[in-house]
Amino acid sequence: MTSSHATASHEQRPTARVGEVFAAFLKLGLTSFGGPTAHLGFFREEFVSKRKWLSESAYADVVALCQFLPGPASSQVGMALGLQRAGSLGLLAAWFAFTLPSAILLVVFALAANSLDSLLGDGWIIGLKAATVAVVAHAVLGMARTLAPDAPRATLAVAAMAIVLLFPSPIVQVAVILAAGLVGLLWLRNSAEAPEPTDFSFARHSRRSALICLAIFVLLLVGLPVAAAIFDNGVLRLIEIFYSSGALVFGGGHVVLPMLETQTVGAGLVEHDAFLAGYAAAQAVPGPLFTFAAYLGMVFQSGPSGLLGAGIALVAIFVPSALLVAAALPFWQRLRHWASARRALLGVNAAVVGLLAAALYSPVFVQGASSIPTLVLATLGFVGLHSWNIPPWMLVVASALIGWVLF
């Protein structure tokens, strides 16, 4: 009887753990304002301090892994924690619960935007675009201090910015990232510090499963552009745009802006004003910034749009992250000790700063600070973020109200 009861409890445990993961991340998805860095702080408080799911050093190691991978770091940390806690279903539960609240809010914003234009005019949109200038400028400054703090990496960042501005293209952006990794490997020999030992033990996922996930990641990365070129299909094109953006963007958060802008606005698939308004709105909702993809899927002008487009875009931009987390976890303990990998990553991160700086100029500054009043509003917003530590969501709301009143 006791043995039978223990077996039943054991069989129910995985399901209970999936529910536990979902509930924990849903709370965070509803309350985690402030961007990726703030999200990682919330995760630490919830899962290290309160729930004791893992130790401080293990958490630091999984954060390091997700900083190493392309994609949204905070979402990937959540996926890794869900995977370790409750297996593959735990990964899905963590992603879904953390992502859903902000995705729903941005879909609602997309649905309401036209009505708001008719009711309130376009002044609030002008305010949102000015807020975007402040938010991206603040992100560039913060990332430059961390990722390009010395002369070699600052030079690499400026070179990346110049190339991307002179030759705007998704292919050029990818080439710049790859070239920066090579430059880092060959040039940044004194900047990559050896990692400290930790009790990292995220080995729940088997190596065989990890290799399958890596193969699927590569197959989709290579195959989707080919399929989209061969078949004139709007769904394939939408999936390819957002999958490649999620797969090739290092640094997450704001860094996805230049890739998505080039792939959507640059291709005539989303209007400039709609893009910047949605990006500003993404600052005002909790959860990961990559849910901006749901908004873009709503306003997509070729192929599926509306709720179908939002769902496809949202899933497509996060699939690479899930595959990479599952692929990398069993091998991270060995990979983190490769000095060559750390040097290459330093170069990639420096280039990321340059890509975001290029996006700060075009389209963000060009579109968002095109007059003296909007430049003043954007500058005040930057001071609020940088000097007064105003939360980005508060700045966005205030800028929209000021724009509505003044413009």
What integer pLDDT is reported at residue 202 of this predicted model? 53
Is 70 exceeded by the pLDDT of residue 47?
yes
What integer pLDDT is reported at residue 6 of this predicted model? 40
Per-residue CA distances from 407 to 226, 282, 350, 370 (Å): 46, 22, 38, 13
- Residue 45 lies inside a defined structural domain of this protein: no
**Helix/strand/coil for 370:** coil
> In DSSP terms, which residues pair with 344 in a beta bridge?
none
- Residue 64 lies inside a defined structural domain of this protein: no
Give the chain's domain count: 1
- Residue 401 lies inside a defined structural domain of this protein: yes
Q: 301: closest CA among 289, 318, 313?
A: 313
Per-residue confidence band for 198, with pLDDT thresholds at 50, 70 and 90: low
- Residue 85 lies inside a defined structural domain of this protein: no
The pLDDT of 90-112, averaged and rounded, is 95
Is 50 exceeded by the pLDDT of residue 280?
yes
Task: Give yes or no for a cis peptide into 363 (omega within 30° of 0).
Answer: yes
The full length of the chain comes to: 407
- Residue 90 lies inside a defined structural domain of this protein: no
Q: Tell me how far apart the alpha carbons of residues 295 and 101 are, in angstroms, rounded to a whole number.
A: 13
Range of the structural domain that residue 165 is part of: 101-406
Q: 336-375 pLDDT, tens per residue?
A: 678 887 888 788 888 888 887 888 898 789 888 989 999 9
- Residue 150 lies inside a defined structural domain of this protein: yes
- Residue 12 lies inside a defined structural domain of this protein: no
Is 80 exceeded by the pLDDT of residue 211?
yes
The pLDDT of 157-179, averaged and rounded, is 88
Is 90 exceeded by the pLDDT of residue 118?
no
Is 50 exceeded by the pLDDT of residue 5?
no
Is 60 exceeded by the pLDDT of residue 298?
yes
Top pLDDT among 329 and 246 is at: 246
Is 50 exceeded by the pLDDT of residue 11?
no
- Residue 74 lies inside a defined structural domain of this protein: no
Tokens read off for 374? 């909007």
Contacts of 209 (CB under 8 A, 6+ apart): 326
